[in-house]
Amino acid sequence: MLKTVKFQDLGSADYKKAWEYQEEIFNKITAEKFATGAGNERSESSAGYLLFCEHPHVYTLGKSGAENNLLITDDFLRKIGADYYRIDRGGDITYHGPGQIVGYPIFNLERFGLSIRQYIQNLEEAIILTLNEYGIESSRLNSASGVWLNSSDPLKARKICAIGVRASRHVTMHGFAFNVNTDLDYFTHINPCGFRDKGVTSMEKELGQKQDINLIKEKLKINLSGVFGMKLIQNQKI
């Protein structure tokens, strides 16, 4: 039976407000788990929530990340109109901005029967399938999460989708950042995901022209639904 997941596209969303919104949903799911017994929620209840958004320019550093992977000062951050947050996900530093699909799955993994490792692999697989539809060959990198192009060539490997998650009580937060029409210049101010020797890319760069981000969102929703075995229900208010 397909798992029911509520979906909402937040459009352009301030990073801090989106983070607080995730926390609200996370607390809702965990409260339901405690009320009904872990893994025993009513069969008709939601297995989670999926949020899409784009953020204004912002850098985020994961809990195990190094501060020196941000290569600019506070004054320069203000000059380029970017915010900076240290947050509670895994991974190191990354950038979010316009033209990037940011996905926040807040899933009860017990309802899906998934480990955190399998969950991350499913996110990667949905991105890989979406890129395949545009003739972009991508894959995983053994030493890091996310989706990469030319992952087997150390001189050409470049990341097109970053993944950084938090899981507590088998409920997930944070998620993925998929570069579609992203301004890649903003990545020059950091060591992306802590790497000093690997680049980043976007669909626009690889295909030579801006892409229809709304169409890509629809394809990605289909692929996420297929990989996770879920049915997305449009939800205007969570």
Query: For residue range 179-189, what is the model confidence (pLDDT) as tens digits?
Result: 999 999 999 88
Note whether residue 157 is domain-resident. yes
CA–CA distance, 38 with 104 (Å, rounded to integer): 22
Residue 237: the pLDDT is 63
- Whether 206 is covered by a domain: the verdict is yes
Domain count, the chain: 1
- Assign residue 217 the CATH number of its domain: 3.30.930.10
- 215, 206, 226: which is closest to 136 by C-alpha? 206
Whether residue 55 lies inside any domain: the answer is: yes
Please report whether residue 99 resides in a domain.
yes
Residue 41 domain-assigned (yes or no): no
pLDDT in tens, 45-83: 679 999 999 999 999 888 777 778 888 888 988 889 999
48: helix, strand or coil: strand
Residue 42 belongs to some domain of the structure: no
* C-alpha to C-alpha distance for 3 and 214, rounded to whole angstroms: 24
Catalytic residue among 50, 101, 193, 230: 193
Whether 10 is in a domain gets the answer yes
**161 catalytic, yes or no?**
no
pLDDT of residue 238: 63
Q: Is 31 helix (H, G, I), strand (E, B) or coil?
A: helix
C-alpha 56/C-alpha 193 separation (Å) is: 19
Low-confidence ranges of the chain (pLDDT < 70): 36-45, 192-197, 236-238
Write the burial class of residue 193 (CB in 10 Å: 0-12 exposed, 13-18 middle, 19+ buried).
Answer: buried
Strand-by-strand arrangement of the 93-96 sheet: 83-86, 58-61, 93-96
Half-sphere exposure of 232 (CA within 13 A, CB side): 23
In a domain, 103, yes or no: yes
For residue 206, give both structure tokens.
Answer: 């690889």
Query: Which domain does 58 fall in, by range?
Result: 3-35+47-234
